[in-house]
Structure 1
């Protein structure tokens, strides 16, 4: 997998470099012939490799007659359905899993907080942006994990970047699942720590890396996701805890897609695995899925939270979370606890999609049937065309393409909501089957 990915990346880079050289030759020729000034390659953004790569991708799509499936505009609140180009569609591209974003009670809570505290707290929390509602949210999150405390950040991505970047250093090691989110990779890079990836959900490989390398480093952090957002599968949390305790490491679990999805009450990975949440050192999550807002959080022991509150750059030097976002998250969490039937409906719907898709001969990988269900075609071109054709039939689902996943595992990624119906799922699978027959 890694070999194929690196070969493709090299081909892209070579193609970009060839195009850059052609552009240079054309620019030099034009300058010699006409004396006209040409853009400076060092300052012209059109000469940047990123722009050149984007141009190549766009030109290739145009030649193949493939429409761009991204940046579709949703004209209202999106959940099980969405309005796109004035048309209501069945929507599988939203992680509003429990249907709480748009719930009147959540909206009312956000409105009341905005009326009381304004639309911004207008400062970092250390300086003068602290509000009572911040601590209310953090205490509610801490209770989910039976933790001493929690800390809320204004960005989910920045949470992983700043926490890993702050906690780890040049004498440390970060071991992460090969499918870990970009934010954890960026945090590891920022930290200056040594970074190693272990094969996806392969604890034997992780154990081997620990046996070979643990003694060389002062601190070791193992980073996994509670529910993997591309594949919809989960790690062996009990096994990870055993390894981290044996080798004296920290374990960090990213619950971005797990809270509200896993466990009978939606409490996440620890409830799903039946383990004491205090055996995990760092719980991370986001507010943008089932908590109807945006931002991230860390839950754990008091010394951890105190350090991050005073020293983590992404918290210390960022404005405090808007009170309306905190209020929406608090109310969403309250509703999740009070209405566990939402969690059950979500789990029932996503399991139904996974089972029916597999029965129809589609490759759903290792998805456990909890909110995220991929349909793997193994071709970025096929996945893109599937997405475009499905939208024509009133079904919105996004393709996941290389380099977000290896080319041979390109897929449609279905985000399932508690409010989807079996009829909507059946209609979608029938449309996919018709596409497969037509091709």
Structure 2
């Protein structure tokens, strides 16, 4: 007598029968197959970019400007290299809207170095430096930057904005804390957000408030980074580096200084915030900056100790997965740094021009905020529409300077931001301050600004048009 089949054999037999049945069914001619109705596919309306609140805000500002008869002051096209003067719509203007603090953008040695690099390397590095984009000029520039700062090493990136985003995102994560000045640059703020780290801010350039925050979070996070700017890009004041270094020694955080508007500008030889305060640059963990200001190029850098740079070169996505800095731009930056040492009078002249503008502006009653009177000097107007119109009035008078309005600064803090260079003449500075004071007084007398706009009517018109 045969044994009864085991449960395992029964299961295998059932599976085999199911497979055979499936194969037979799908081997039949198509006409004999049983058609099954398709399930309905859900559909949703594609969202419109025009309905996004950010787009509506831009359009509301434009509509308010139209109601007041204000031409859009942004995206003006310049016909050539912009320095102390520029050409817009065929008119030569005195220019206070470009970063070229030391006049390197048209320096013959900088131009020659860039052209030589193009002849040797072509226009592009053509690959990530990690694979095939490395060129000798990259290492030479990084060594120059490290030497300039007095630290061990440096790394350069293709974008200043990207430098903050990728460096912060590489070094910190959800277990960490970032404490930043409330007026920190958008690139650093974006890097902090994308890192996933916890975020706190302290009152602008207020070391006592920073210490209050540090005490409140002590021991709660794996790592802590404090983010400041050397010279603040909107206000033109200088970070209290000595006090920050003292707090670093006490609370054990990483200190990161964005020196974009300080390099070549402050300090006895233009070496930035550390030299300005007489501090040891190695007491700052991360020096960050851009190559588009004093060095008349494009890109960004991080300088610090060897371990930091090695880490970023191996793990920073904005370096590993991004094309190398264009060789011509690297050559321009290297040459500009070299010229700062060989032509120190440029730094001296730029600072004298900044002081002249600052003193004249204060004498005319213009509000320069907390600026120390170097490369960045704001004239605070308060009202965004008034700032935009003042910009246009000055353009008509022969002066190119740009407004900074909400949301770049809080409403009520709108301003014109003057960039001062070594190439400006005293006459150009006197002319600019005089015309700015006159035009602003006229706008105030007319009560020109947001307060004179019927915002509800603007919004109703926008709703009707949409």
Q: Taking structure 2 as the reference length, what is the TM-score of the superposition?
A: 0.85
Which residue of the partner structure matches residue 83 of structure 2?
79
For the residues of structure 2 that align with 1:272 and 1:96, how far apart are their CA atoms?
A: 20
Which string of whole-angstrom CA distances, capped at 9 and with x for unpartnered residues, describes residues 171-193 of structure 1? 11000000000111111111110
Q: SS state of the match for residue 246, structure 1?
A: helix
Q: 1:104 aligns with which of 101, 108, 111?
A: 108
Structure 1 match to 2:71: 67
**Could you list the runs of 5+ residues in structure 2 that have no partner in the other structure?**
1-43, 446-466
Q: Secondary structure at the match of 2:276?
A: helix
**RMSD, aligned α-carbons:** 1.0
- 1:134 maps to which of 126, 133, 138: 138
Residue 414 of structure 1, aligned match among 399, 415, 418: 418
Equivalent-residue separation in structure 2 for 1:181 and 1:341 (angstroms): 30
Matched, 1:234 2:219: no
1:30-83 C-alpha deviation (Å, 9 max, x unpaired): xxxxxxxxxx86333222332222222211111111111111111111111010
| Structure 1 residue 154 displacement after superposition | 0.3
- Per the alignment, residue 380 of structure 1 pairs with 384
Distance 1:57 1:334 in 2: 44
- Corresponding residue number in structure 2 for 1:427: 431
| Correspondence for 1:389 among 393, 397, 409 | 393
User: 1:347-362 alignment to 2 at 5 Å?
Assistant: 347-362=351-366
Residue 436 of structure 1, CA deviation: 3.6
C-alpha distance in 1, partners of 2:215/2:296? 42
Partner of 1:191: 195
The match for 1:308 is: 312
Deviation at 1:269, TM superposition (A): 0.4
Q: Which whole-Å CA distance do the structure 1 matches of 2:283 and 2:334 have between them?
A: 25
CA displacement at 1:166 relative to structure 2: 0.8
1:168 paired residue number: 172
1:215 Cα deviation after fit? 1.1
Task: Provide, for residues 281-317 of structure 1, a one-character-per-residue CA deviation record: whole Å limited to 9, x for no partner.
Answer: 0000110011111100000111100000010000000
Deviation at 1:371, TM superposition (A): 0.7
CA distance in 2, matches of 1:168, 1:93: 34
The alpha-carbon deviation at position 352 of structure 1 amounts to 0.7
Is 1:297 matched up with 2:301? Answer: yes
Tell me the CA shift for residue 359 of structure 1: 1.0
Partners of 1:397 and 1:413 within 8 A in 2: yes
- CA–CA distance in structure 1, aligned partners of residues 440 and 303 of structure 2: 45
Q: How does 1:136-155 map to 2 (within 5 A)?
A: 136-155=140-159
Q: Report the count of equivalent residues.
A: 400
Query: In structure 2, what is the Cα distance between the partners aligned to 1:384 and 1:437?
Result: 15
Moved more, 47-56 or 262-271: 47-56
Mapped to 2, the partners of 1:110 and 1:136 lie a distance apart of 14
**In the alignment, which residue of structure 2 is the partner of 1:19?**
none
Displacement of 1:147? 1.0
> Tell me, what secondary structure is at the counterpart of 2:438?
helix
Residue pair 2:73, 2:392 contacting (<8 A) in 1 also: yes
192, 205, 211: which one aligns with 2:209:
205
**Is the CA contact (8 Å cut-off) linking 2:366 and 2:437 kept in structure 1?**
no
CA distance in 1, matches of 2:264, 2:333: 12
Please state whether the residue corresponding to 2:123 is helix, strand or coil.
Answer: coil
What does residue 259 of structure 1 align with? 263
Q: Is the 8 A contact 2:390 2:440 kept in 1?
A: no
Query: 8 Å contact 1:41–1:47 — kept in the other structure?
Result: no
Partner residue, 2:183 = 179
Distance 2:233 2:310 in 1: 30
Quick one: distance in 1 between partners of 2:91 and 2:370? 33
